[in-house]
């Protein structure tokens, strides 16, 4: 069903192009480093003290030949900044050229920073103290803007709740793992999705959590520390472990030990449910807190958690105490994968789906945003910049709106139906805009955790190369009998789905607990079936994440799935499709169907699961649709 592998000659050409591109990038970065040396002073490995005496390694870049007080861009990271490259190098050169100081700092316990590391790097204390230190420097104008992507963005959220007087603006990009609970989302830093555990933190912590590390002596002189930082970056060289095989190990909380990974918090995290008070003890931001900083949010349709990100954007717009902060929240949503905003997008392919020309002036928009709030320039940013700029897939165009979702939306409901055999692409599963008949049918499938449905694309990152993010033809997945497939007739008119997509299933099982996975698909006239978004729900949390309610064999339960969020035009002649199954592995930990804790169990149970659809049990999709 999938196309044949490329001819070997094509593979050679692709490899040659990749080599040329890599060489061009290396040459470009060499030019940037030479330019930076020409335009900037560089203070290396400055040890900035925190309130408890721990010192954090910090590099400072400032324009040469100026006595002016400078606004500062602050990038704080758990990653190795000593090899300045990629987008950080681009940002440093750009902002120094534009009259900014640029400060990069390692979180405590990382590389040359002292102390013990914690995920998100103590934003409410270390982050706050770092801003105070920057604002107190003789070259500072007292205004700091924070910037970063992924882990370098996530810490900014809890810092924003502290409303530091120097924190004038922030640009969090792909910041979902910094969100604890916001609204109906209880993802706790992307640890959960609909009460199911996401696997990405296993592989991410393997590479990042090097708490057992060599350390420089505390009494080392500053001169020697700078010199040694040029010789030794203290970056761990973690062995490859063959994740594709190791990820199947049970119990789940033992995998880090199985791969001889760093000792630390992975197994501890497994113990806590999606609404446990534990999640409020660290650096995550929760919506019970205030939000104190104007922000330009950059998000992506194929990132880990675009739904919570946009929910937090709306939370800041409606709940921040300061009306100026409420007014100055801006969001950009691109059709990219995690943190790929600055890659070429003229003819963008995300996975296998061509998104067209998705070019956007991110750097120009960010610069104008910072110029407005850090330099107080009267540059009409507020007047010229829509509150929301989002890319609609299918139409392959950028659009703007005053709100998310846009106000000119309604909802459209489409119902699941079949003659009782929706199993696989070759079954009789249907999506219909007509309400179900009185006597519906039931679609049944067997979920065996030892042969889970494999992950293919979607919003994913940091998972050890096991899954590539993006949109892929799903027909190989849909050929399985343990995947229910519901497809509409070809559309007579396009449907622009822009906003949340809510799915309610009526389910039963002979297991005490199981999972249900859903995937929204855009089926092209030639049969290609591209995933738009997906979600998951652990059935025990159907009544709330603060309780566990198990199933009884023979009973039918209403199951609201954790909502999806997207903007996609299903064109005339295309079909809308929904996949329903019980696994998405290795993106999501397998439910072993026992009703037990799951994370510390090793003996799976096969579940016989069912989806019901009738007037009594109207399993359906409720789509947010933009008016034409």
pLDDT tens digits along 362-408: 999 999 999 999 999 999 999 999 999 999 999 999 999 999 999 99
The b-or-e profile of 527-555 (16+ CB within 10 A means b, else e) is ebbbbbbbbbbbbbbbeebeebeebeeee
Mean pLDDT of the region 94-109: 97
Q: Check 91, 315, 338, 617 and give the catalytic one.
A: 338
Cα–Cα distance measured from residue 304 to residue 187, given in angstroms and rounded to the nearest whole number: 10
Which residue in the list 303, 417, 443, 533 is annotated as catalytic?
303
Q: 523 vs 437, which has greater pLDDT?
A: 523
- Please state the rounded mean pLDDT for residues 222-228: 86
Look up 338 and say whether it is catalytic. yes
Across the chain, mean pLDDT equals 94
CA nearest neighbour of 71 among 294, 373, 329, 379:
373
- What the block records as the tokens of 114 is 């002292």
How many other CB atoms are there within 10 angstroms of residue 321's CB atom?
A: 10
pLDDT computed for residue 233 by the predictor: 82
Mean pLDDT value across residues 107-136: 95
Per the CB < 8 A criterion, the answer to whether 131 and 61 are in contact is: no
Give the tokens for residue 555: 């009973």
Residue keyed to tokens 């330019």 = 35
Q: 292, 167 in Cβ contact below 8 A?
A: yes
* Mean pLDDT on 439-448: 93
Question: Quick check: 475 pLDDT over 80?
Answer: yes
Q: Which of 150, 488, 500, 582 is catalytic?
A: 150
pLDDT at 156: 98
Structure-token pair, residue 357: 């020309």
Tell me what pLDDT residue 591 has.
98
CB 406 within 8 A of CB 626: yes
Q: Which of 132, 150, 153, 149 is nearest to 56 (CA)?
A: 132
264-281 pLDDT, tens digit each: 889 999 999 999 999 999
Within the chain, how many helices (H) and strands (E) appear? 14, 28
How confident is the model over 151-165, as a mean pLDDT?
A: 97
**Alpha-helical segments (H) within 437-535:** 475-478
Dihedral Cα 537, 538, 542, 547, nearest 10 deg: -140
Whether 164 is catalytic is no
pTM: 0.94
Query: What is the Cα–Cα distance from 525 to 492, expressed in whole angstroms?
Result: 13
Sign, Cα dihedral of 405, 307, 301, 147: positive
Predicted local confidence at residue 14, as pLDDT: 47
Whether 195 shows a pLDDT value over 80: the answer reads yes
- In this prediction, residues 574-602 reach a mean pLDDT of 98
Q: How far apart are CA 530 and CA 458, in angstroms?
A: 10
**H or E segment to which residue 225 belongs:** helix 222-231
512 in Cβ contact with 601 (< 8 Å): no
How far is 473 from 126, CA to CA, in rounded Å?
45
Number of Cα atoms under 13 Å in the Cβ half of residue 277? 0
Token readout for 250 is: 């049970």
Contact (Cβ atoms closer than 8 angstroms) between residue 422 and residue 443? yes
Buried b (16+ CB within 10 A) or exposed e, 437-451: eeebbbbbbebebee
Q: Report all structural domains of the chain as residue ranges with CATH numbers, in order of start.
A: 8-188+272-401 (3.40.50.1820), 409-626 (2.60.120.260)
> Per residue in 5-33, pLDDT tens?
555 665 565 465 556 567 778 888 999 99
For residues 304 and 151, give the distance between their C-alpha atoms in angstroms, rounded to a whole number. 13
CB-based contact 80:100 (threshold 8 Å): no
- Nearest alpha-carbon partner for 487 in 436, 522, 534: 522
Give burial (CB, 10 Å; 0-12/13-18/19+) of 452: buried
What is the C-alpha separation between 73 and 148, in angstroms, rounded? 10
Longest Cα separation, the chain: 80
* Tokens representing residue 221 in the block: 């002189």
150 is catalytic: yes
Q: Point out the least confidently predicted range of 45-59, 207-221, 408-422.
A: 207-221
In DSSP terms, 149 is beta-bridged to: 173
Q: Say which residue the tokens 């002979």 belong to.
A: 510
State phi, psi for 456 to the nearest 5 degrees.
-145, 100
* Residue, of 212 and 389, whose pLDDT is higher: 389
Q: Note the pLDDT tens digit of each residue in 136-155.
A: 999 999 999 999 999 999 99
């Amino acid at each position: 069903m999938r196309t044949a592998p490329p001819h070997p000659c094509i593979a050679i050409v692709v490899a040659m192009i990749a080599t040329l591109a890599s060489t061009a990038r290396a040459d470009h970065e060499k030019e940037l480093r030479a330019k930076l040396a020409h335009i900037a002073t560089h203070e290396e490995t400055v040890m900035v003290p925190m309130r408890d005496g721990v010192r954090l390694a910090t590099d400072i870049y400032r324009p040469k030949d100026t006595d002016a007080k400078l606004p500062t861009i602050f990038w704080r990271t758990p990653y190795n900044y000593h090899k300045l490259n990629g987008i950080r190098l681009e940002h440093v050169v750009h902002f120094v050229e534009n009259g900014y100081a640029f400060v990069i700092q390692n979180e405590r316990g990382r590389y040359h920073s002292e102390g013990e590391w914690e995920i998100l790097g103590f934003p409410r204390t270390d982050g706050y103290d770092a801003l105070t230190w920057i604002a107190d420097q003789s070259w500072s104008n007292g205004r700091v803007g924070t910037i970063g992507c992924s882990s370098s963005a996530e810490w900014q959220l809890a810092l924003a709740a502290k409303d530091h007087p120097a924190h004038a603006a922030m640009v969090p990009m792909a910041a979902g793992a910094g969100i604890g609970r916001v609204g109906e989302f209880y993802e706790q830093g992307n640890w959960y999705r609909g009460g199911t555990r996401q696997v990405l933190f296993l592989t991410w912590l393997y590479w990042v959590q090097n708490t057992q590390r060599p350390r420089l002596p505390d009494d080392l002189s500053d001169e020697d520390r700078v010199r040694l930082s040029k010789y030794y970056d203290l970056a761990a060289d973690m062995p490859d472990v063959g994740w594709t095989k190791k990820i199947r190990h049970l119990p789940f909380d033992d995998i880090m030990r199985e791969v001889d990974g760093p000792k630390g918090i992975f197994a501890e995290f497994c113990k806590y449910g999606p609404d446990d008070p534990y999640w409020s003890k660290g650096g995550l931001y929760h919506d019970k807190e205030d939000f104190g900083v104007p922000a330009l949010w950059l998000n992506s349709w194929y990132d880990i958690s675009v739904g919570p990100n946009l929910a937090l954007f709306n939370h800041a717009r409606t709940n921040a105490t300061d009306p100026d902060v409420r007014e100055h929240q801006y969001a950009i949503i691109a059709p990219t994968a995690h943190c790929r905003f600055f890659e070429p997008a003229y003819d963008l392919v995300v996975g296998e789906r061509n998104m067209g020309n998705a070019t956007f002036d991110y750097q120009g928009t960010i610069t104008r945003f910072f110029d407005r709030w850090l330099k107080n320039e009267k540059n009409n940013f507020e007047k010229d910049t829509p509150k929301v700029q989002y890319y609609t897939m299918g139409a392959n165009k950028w659009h703007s709106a005053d709100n998310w979702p846009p106000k000119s939306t309604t909802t459209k409901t489409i119902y699941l139906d079949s003659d009782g055999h929706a199993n696989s692409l070759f079954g009789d599963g249907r999506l219909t805009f007509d309400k179900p008949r009185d006597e519906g049918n039931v679609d049944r499938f067997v979920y065996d955790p030892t042969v889970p449905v494999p992950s293919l694309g979607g919003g994913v990152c940091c998972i050890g190369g096991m899954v590539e993010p993006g949109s892929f033809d799903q027909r190989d997945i849909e050929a399985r009998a343990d995947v229910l497939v519901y497809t509409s007739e070809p559309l007579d008119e396009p449907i622009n789905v822009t906003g949340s997509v809510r799915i309610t299933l009526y389910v039963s099982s002979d297991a005490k607990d199981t999972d249900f996975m859903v995937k929204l698909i855009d089926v092209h006239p030639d049969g290609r079936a591209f995933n738009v978004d997906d979600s998951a729900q652990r059935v025990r949390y159907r009544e709330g994440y603060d309780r566990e309610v198990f199933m009884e064999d023979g009973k039918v339960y209403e199951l609201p799935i954790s909502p999806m969020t997207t903007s996609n035009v299903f064109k005339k002649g295309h079909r809308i499709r929904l996949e329903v199954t019980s696994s998405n592995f290795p993106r999501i930990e397998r439910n072993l169907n026992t009703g037990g804790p799951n994370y510390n169990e090793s003996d799976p149970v096969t579940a016989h699961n069912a989806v019901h659809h009738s007037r009594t049990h109207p399993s359906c999709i409720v789509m947010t649709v933009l008016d034409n």
